[in-house]
Amino acid sequence: MAETGLVRSLPGQDDVQAAAVRLRGQVRHTPLFSSAQLDDMAGARLLCKAECLQETGSFKIRGAMNRLLQLDAAERARGVVAFSSGNHAQGVARAARKLGLKATIVMPDTAPEVKKAGVLRDRAELVPYDPQTQSREALAEALARERQAVLVPSFDDPHIVAGQGTCGLEIRAHLEARGEVLDDLICCTGGGGLISGISLAFEGTGTRIWTAEPDGHDDWARSLAAGRQLHNPPGTRSICDAILTPAPGDIPWGVSQSRLAGGLVVSDAQVLFAMQIAFRALKLVLEPGGAVALAAALFALPEAARGGRVGVVLSGGNVDPDVFAPALRVSCP
């Protein structure tokens, strides 16, 4: 890992490769799905990476497990603290349970019930907070200091980025075994841990990599266009709870700003329709944040990608029934 001053250290492709070795037998190798119906709708050959079928229902266990596996004996004895709207929370809770560690998770009291239940099922301590009046970062840092525990960030950590990048290595390996390459790849983007790791995994392949975000929370699209990190305006809302971060993370931005082709933006209505189409065409359940990349492939595909082979990361499937059921009835926006 190279030293980068304020950004601390940035992982490289070798760190992603090392994470893949470390994670063998610890996480699932998720499948790549295709559908003629999706291809017709998008005007391209879509290859969908089903991280919604990963342990805990999202890609997040990859980074969490990679981080926790590198704790020393003293750190393991003290346990870990994490903060998350849900998917990272579940990833840390599951990884900690597998490794016999105590985990404390700071989650908003508005988090989906299915994500809270997952954390508790893996025997982690859940500490709720009010996102309108409390800072999750400050609360988690205070708990970590008090308990002398290790703080496990959701994306701004080189080991987290490297672990998430193993998703990209799996996509590459699947295609290379068939003698194929991707022209483009679209990935949901919150803090940027997943897309930055994937950008490392695909380095040197010529694949164009695009962020996908909901309208109003398009900090990555705007930051890439401006060439500097920009924040979302305060008070913006979206149904995509899993990826509503204030701005690109420092480490993910440092890794991927020069490796990404640009940013794609979709509406909440388009995301809901993508959830419906994934269910009907692929028989997969996606949460809103996990369907953003598919929505971008269907409604915001760059002209250069049309007719090509496009990877789409379906990043998570942890959705409450009262959100999923209405998505099955929406009309095409």
Asked if 72 and 41 count as a contact pair (C-beta separation under 8 A), the reply is no
Domain boundary among 130, 151, 172: 151
Paired tokens of 72: 């020393």
pLDDT, tens digit (0-9, with 9 covering 90-100), for 288-313: 999 999 999 999 999 999 999 999 99
pLDDT, tens digit (0-9, with 9 covering 90-100), for 93-131: 999 999 999 999 999 988 889 999 999 999 999 999 988
Task: Give the pLDDT band of residue 5 (cuts 50, 70, 90).
Answer: very low
Domain membership of residue 333 (yes or no) is no
Residue 8 has pLDDT above 60, yes or no: no
Q: CATH number for the domain including 111?
A: 3.40.50.1100
Asked if 190 and 120 count as a contact pair (C-beta separation under 8 A), the reply is no
Task: Report the b/e string of 213-224 with b at 16+ CB within 10 A.
Answer: bbbbbbbbbbbb
pLDDT, tens digit (0-9, with 9 covering 90-100), for 150-199: 999 999 999 999 999 999 999 999 999 999 999 999 999 999 999 999 99
**Residues spanned by the domain of 168:** 2-59+158-327
Residue 323 has pLDDT above 50, yes or no: yes
Domain membership of residue 28 (yes or no) is yes
One domain, residues 187 and 76:
no
